[in-house]
Amino acid sequence: MTGKEFETYFRQLYVPLGMYALRMVDDADVAEDLVQDAFVKAWTYAGEGRRIDSFAPFMYRTVRNVCLTYLRDRRETVGEECIPEADDEAIDTSFRDARIWKAIDDLPEQCRRVFLLSKRDGLSNEEIAEELGISVKTVKNQMTKAFSRLREALSDGHRPFFLPFL
């Protein structure tokens, strides 16, 4: 595997693998470190002349194993059955999650702040208005704008994108 091929895989898989790891360790900083460790392991593995036939499944297994090791080292009482397998569903879910967070990150700043205070932090419109020093109507307008932009960003052309988690 060339360095260019590895870089392409890294750019394609880094965020989805981070979302996958986050579901296991429940800490974004730790998940990011573990994904970086997994890529180092893959680079070392490939550098030893070993062939990786299917890189994405290899990386999902590697991330899963790195997360399991991390949890065991912390003496977390978690059964291996609680850690999602790196199957097609887990891979699809991690790519979907990465796509959703990218769309949220691309929202205008105030729109993103209002959206996250509402959906991530569970604040009411009135609480958000007080927190940000804006009117409740502005909060509602920003939420409408956020939903509209997210639907647009996450739709595949003509099909509307359903946001069940919201």
Mean pLDDT of all residues in the chain?
Answer: 81
Which residue intervals of 106-135 are DSSP H helices?
Answer: 109-119, 125-132
Residue 73 has a pLDDT of 83
**Number of neighbouring beta carbons within 10 Å of residue 137:** 10
Q: Per-residue pLDDT averaged across 130-141, rounded? A: 91
In this structure, of 18-22, 45-49, 117-121, 152-156, the range with the lowest mean pLDDT score is 152-156
Residue 101 has pLDDT above 50, yes or no: yes
Asked if 69 and 17 sit in the same domain, the reply is: yes
State the Cα–Cα distance between residues 166 and 130, nearest whole angstrom: 22
Domain that holds residue 84: 1-100
Residues of the chain with pLDDT > 70, as a percent, come to 83
Asked if 22 and 71 sit in the same domain, the reply is: yes
Q: How many domains does the chain have?
A: 2
**Number of neighbouring beta carbons within 10 Å of residue 143:** 19
Closest CA to 42 of 31, 30, 56: 56
Residue 76 has a pLDDT of 57
